[in-house]
A = this chain, B = another copy of it.
């Protein structure tokens, strides 16, 4: 009954998911590995999955009858063809973000999945599985009344020189784009970007910080601060204000120490630690659904919607503070 998984892309995240499947989660094992650099695949095999076969290509891996389900953790540009191949093979596929590098590509996946007639794709938006966001969603549904405003922040201690302005959307804010859409059960209709002066630690190819303002179909106004050189820590905030009250994303558990005339609690500095538990939960969720031949969690449609919104945000980064419209195609019944 063990789900046999093939992993395409054996970099940091593919390696980590393999470890997770082999050492933490239940109901699955990694039987196949593939990477453009075969040494990477061998290293992951040796460290975590000694019985796994190594395939020369992702397509070969997908085609193998040994492989029941596929993880796509390769370079972003390759996600779309691998996901399409998995759908063509009728195999559940977990794809790390982005689902595709363009909204058009994401829509092609949606269309393929709709044509196949069954959900097979889970996109790796792990925040939906975070206990804090789940508690926030429950509070919004049960206590605050209908949402009207959201204030959010995504702060990171620092980024390398290669990180340029559009990456603040595609690599960073993409998580807020998905999780707020899910939290509010709503769709975006416009995006706007405003900038303060640049932080001193930033550089010429990066406007940092920035404030992205989104409006939703139901009329919620969202502001998201993106500050990737904030120095002090990795800090994710989210407050939802509704008709009757407000609720805030809980801070990660942190010990309080009284020392040197200060009451002090540590703040995380590495993003990998912040949602570490939710990676386990999302992938276990995939395994359970894939064992039944289907997919659950964030859908291809969610991946498409995130891609469309992200494109609008990037366009808004260059629009001098004006709003850019966000328009989705018609939502297929498969995703209702």
| Stretch of A91-99, A166-174, A258-266, A299-307 lying at the B interface | A258-266
| Stretch of A31-39, A249-257, A325-333 lying at the B interface | A249-257
> Does A76 make an interface contact (CB < 8 A)?
no
| Stretch of A79-87, A105-113, A225-233 lying at the B interface | A225-233
Q: Are A258 and B243 in contact (CB under 8 A)?
A: no
Query: Which B residues are in CB contact (< 8 Å) with A26?
Result: 22-26
> Does A194 make an interface contact (CB < 8 A)?
yes
* Contact for A265 among B23, B194, B263, B269, CB less than 8 A: B263
* Contact for A220 among B196, B227, B268, CB less than 8 A: B196
Which of A248, A257, A267 is the most central at the interface, judged by chain B CB atoms within 10 Å of its CB?
A257
Q: In the docked arrangement, what's the CA distance between A185 and B211, Å?
A: 22
> Does A162 make an interface contact (CB < 8 A)?
no
Query: Which B residues are in CB contact (< 8 Å) with A269?
Result: 261
- A 172-205 binary contact with B (CB < 8 Å = 1; else 0): 0000000000000000000010111101110000
Which of A25, A148, A252 is the most central at the interface, judged by chain B CB atoms within 10 Å of its CB?
A148
Give the Cβ gap from A195 to chain B, nearest Cβ, in Å: 7
Q: In the docked arrangement, what's the CA distance between A143 and B134, Å?
A: 31
Q: Are A265 and B262 in contact (CB under 8 A)?
A: yes
Query: Which B residues are in CB contact (< 8 Å) with A247?
Result: 255-258
Q: Are B241 and A209 in contact (CB under 8 A)?
A: yes
Q: Which residue of B lies closest to A213 (CB)?
A: B194
Query: Which B residues are in CB contact (< 8 Å) with A309?
Result: none
Give the Cβ gap from A219 to chain B, nearest Cβ, in Å: 3
Q: In the docked arrangement, what's the CA distance between A260 and B265, Å?
A: 11
Give the Cβ gap from A208 to chain B, nearest Cβ, in Å: 9
Q: Are A132 and B196 in contact (CB under 8 A)?
A: no
Give the Cβ gap from A152 to chain B, nearest Cβ, in Å: 10
* Contact for A149 among B22, B139, B227, B257, CB less than 8 A: B227
> Does A151 make an interface contact (CB < 8 A)?
yes
- Interface extent on A, as a size class? 35 or more
> Does A144 make an interface contact (CB < 8 A)?
yes
Give the Cβ gap from A252 to chain B, nearest Cβ, in Å: 7
Q: In the docked arrangement, what's the CA distance between A275 and B138, Å?
A: 21
* Contact for A211 among B223, B264, B266, CB less than 8 A: B223
> Does A289 make an interface contact (CB < 8 A)?
no
Q: Are B149 and A196 in contact (CB under 8 A)?
A: yes
Interface residues, chain A, with chain B CB atoms under 8 Å away: 22-27, 131-132, 135-136, 138-139, 143-144, 146, 148-149, 151, 153, 157, 192, 194-197, 199-201, 209, 211, 213, 215, 218-221, 223, 225, 227, 230-233, 235, 241, 243-269, 321, 323
Query: Apart from A211-B223, A262-B265, what are 19 other A-B pairs with CB-CB below 8 Å?
Result: A131-B253, A148-B196, A149-B196, A149-B225, A192-B194, A227-B241, A231-B245, A232-B245, A232-B258, A232-B260, A232-B261, A250-B253, A251-B253, A251-B263, A258-B267, A261-B267, A261-B268, A263-B265, A264-B264
Between A and B, 16 residue pairs with Cβ closer than 8 Å are A23-B26, A26-B26, A132-B255, A135-B254, A135-B255, A136-B255, A151-B225, A192-B194, A196-B219, A232-B245, A232-B259, A232-B260, A232-B261, A244-B259, A251-B253, A262-B265
